[in-house]
Amino acid sequence: MSRRIAVLSEEVANQIAAGEVVERPASIVKELVENAVDAGADDIRVELEIGGCRSIRVVDNGSGIEQEDVALVFERHATSKIVRIDDIHDAGSFGFRGEAMASIASVARVELLTRRPDDLAGTKATAQAGSISEISPAGVPSGTQITVTELFANVPARRKFLKTEATEQSACLDAVMRLALSHPEIRFSVRADGRNMFAAPAAASVADRVAMVLGRDFTDHCLTIAQRKENVELGGMVSTPTWTKSNSKSVYLFVNSRFIRDNSMMHALLAAYRQVMEPRRFPAAVLFLRLPGEEVDINVHPAKMEVRFKNSRIIYDLVSGAVSRALAGAQASRDAVAYRLAPREMAADSSEFQKSRPYQASWGRQRDVFSRANLQRALDEDLFARAGETDVPARVEDASCEERITFDHRTYLGQFAGAYLVFGGPGGLMLLDQHAAHERILLERLKATGKGPVASQPLLMPEVVTLTPAQISLLTEALPLLAGIGLELEVFGRDAVVVKAMPAALPNVDARLLVSDLVDGLGEGQAAPSLAEKKEKILASLACHAAIKAHAELSPAEVAALCRDLEETPFNATCPHGRPIRVRFTLYEIERMFKRK
């Protein structure tokens, strides 16, 4: 059935536009604070209630709005930033599309108070559901104050997509922090539910502002970037290869003082770290790119977080080259954490283990288990035992195909690439990921201890970990949960926590790195994860940090203990992240590789 083409009503058009601009409270904070920056304010205050879900207030001391123009504030495509189409290609302001205020007013109640410095009286305006309900004179200080309440009141279906209060508050703080990084001359402050959450007084330089916002932990482990190519200038800071994060949230990219997300710049940054940083880790960075306005298109998306460069190759080479040169003098260190055995397992050899396991003959009693002769003999025996079998499936089997991992009739052949344990047996060759295996063992141990009282080991010297205000907001909500699993933390001011105790089951764990990675993962995932899901995620992160790493050489006794513990561990086919712990190559598949089949 065909339908006639019709022009959308103003209400529907505004709500569609709002869906592109207003995704969550943080979107509103971003738009309002950017408007305050464009107004020339040097003091911007943000107040939040219930993470911005109940109310958002942004107060600035900028130029204010003419009384005659107040009615146009809530009109779509009404702006003072551009006049001609050519102005878009050289826009030096944040907001120029004229959609933000109209979009916000279409999904919330907005109250605006404004006065220009030279005016005797100010103006009050109220808008809701896309229409203005009041415009009247008011006595207000110079500048502009905007209060947003009843968010998504007329579109309640969108409220269910909001996340927890702590997560939404953290996103709002992130939005302010990004603007604070790129505007050190402006004073920013954020209060949430009556508490001071973030304060950044005017700074003399970008470096000082970076230290205020991201903390001294970052500035103490960073390298300075300063490079120029043609008419493009790059500056900022990047972390050393040893100071890493679990995700890319700590990478801040700015183009002409505008925070952006750009895959090309991110790829160039990560490419510079490829050879000096361990896999699945990310750097922290604050990079400022400056180039002529006509060289970049910032009008790609209404949220203006995506840009398009006229010559992306120059940008890529500049970022990659500058970061690579800064890293050239930095030495990447790899810390190997040995597999810690219980006292009863620290015998000179693995004789006790050999007596108690069904595959004791595979280990032998000789101390030189890794000798060339023994390895060759084990390989020969395995190949001769399987030489007559031709009905083995021609495929590589991974752990996901089978229920459990066992070591019956397996011969330990050695360690490959410092990360994989190699076993031979009647079924072929098996490679075991030592880190993934230990992760699963530790996770199941932590889950078992979590059902009762968890042993906690107080630190002799409590460690102070610097975090951003957004991370503090997320962590505060999780403190009781962390205490329940033996990790005792205490918020220390607005930008740090003190680690007082660690789970006794996890010795030799870097407290700073552990807490930083835990917080990075708290804001991810579902809108309202259950307590059990949160706990499982935290325990998995704890296990990952405590597990043996790649390039850790294991003794025969340590390998024996690891295998025994893995056999006794439930769900031992995959690591906590779902990756396989082992991969097996059948003899048939190996012979096909050598063209024998």
pLDDT in the model for residue 95: 60
Which CATH number does 343-438+551-593 carry? 3.30.1540.20
pLDDT in the model for residue 571: 82
pLDDT at 361 over 70: no
Which CATH number does 10-200 carry? 3.30.565.10
Q: How far apart are CA 488 and CA 458, in angstroms?
A: 8
Q: How far apart are CA 13 and CA 19, in angstroms?
A: 10
pLDDT at 359 over 70: no
pLDDT at 333 over 60: no
Of residues 549 and 120, more confidently modeled: 120
pLDDT tens-digit series, residues 402-459? 467 888 888 899 888 888 999 998 878 999 999 889 988 888 887 776 666 667 788 8
Q: How far apart are CA 315 and CA 318, in angstroms?
A: 5
pLDDT at 302 over 80: no
- The arrangement of strands across the sheet holding 396-398 comes to 396-398, 582-585, 428-433, 420-425, 411-416
pLDDT at 314 over 80: yes
Q: In Å, what is the CA distance from 586 to each residue of 391, 453, 590? A: 10, 45, 6
Of residues 305 and 376, more confidently modeled: 305
Of residues 352 and 572, more confidently modeled: 572
Q: Give the highest mean pLDDT range of 25-34, 122-131, 531-540.
A: 25-34
Helix (H, G, I), strand (E, B) or coil at 459: strand
Task: State mean pLDDT over 294-301.
Answer: 76
pLDDT in the model for residue 160: 80
pLDDT in the model for residue 595: 83
pLDDT in the model for residue 450: 60
With bands split at pLDDT 50, 70 and 90, how would you rate the model's confidence at 203? very high
Q: Give the highest mean pLDDT range of 152-156, 190-194, 270-274, 587-591.
A: 190-194
Whether 343-438+551-593 shares its CATH topology with 454-546 is answered no
Q: Are 338 and 244 in contact (CB under 8 A)?
A: no
Has this prediction a pTM greater than 0.85?
A: no
With bands split at pLDDT 50, 70 and 90, how would you rate the model's confidence at 125? very high
Q: In Å, what is the CA distance from 215 to each residue of 125, 130, 201? A: 40, 41, 14
With bands split at pLDDT 50, 70 and 90, how would you rate the model's confidence at 85? low
Q: In Å, what is the CA distance from 378 to each residue of 300, 373, 563? A: 63, 9, 19
pLDDT at 360 over 80: no
Q: In Å, what is the CA distance from 588 to each residue of 243, 307, 380, 397, 409? A: 45, 53, 15, 12, 19
On average, the pLDDT of the chain sits at: 79
> Out of 3.30.230.10, 2.60.40.3080, 3.40.50.2300, 3.40.1360.10, which CATH number does the structure's domain 215-327 have?
3.30.230.10
pLDDT in the model for residue 344: 35
Task: State mean pLDDT over 467-490.
Answer: 85
pLDDT at 57 over 60: yes
How many other C-beta atoms are found inside a 10 Å radius of the C-beta of residue 387? 11
Mean pLDDT is lowest, of 126-130, 347-351, 448-452, 482-486, for 347-351
Say which CATH superfamily domain 454-546 falls into. Answer: MutL, C-terminal domain, regulatory subdomain (3.30.1370.100)
pLDDT in the model for residue 370: 42
Q: State the SS3 of 521-536.
A: HHCCCCCCCCHHHHHH
Instruction: Give the domain ranges of the chain.
Output: 10-200, 215-327, 343-438+551-593, 454-546
Residue percentage of the chain with pLDDT more than 70: 78
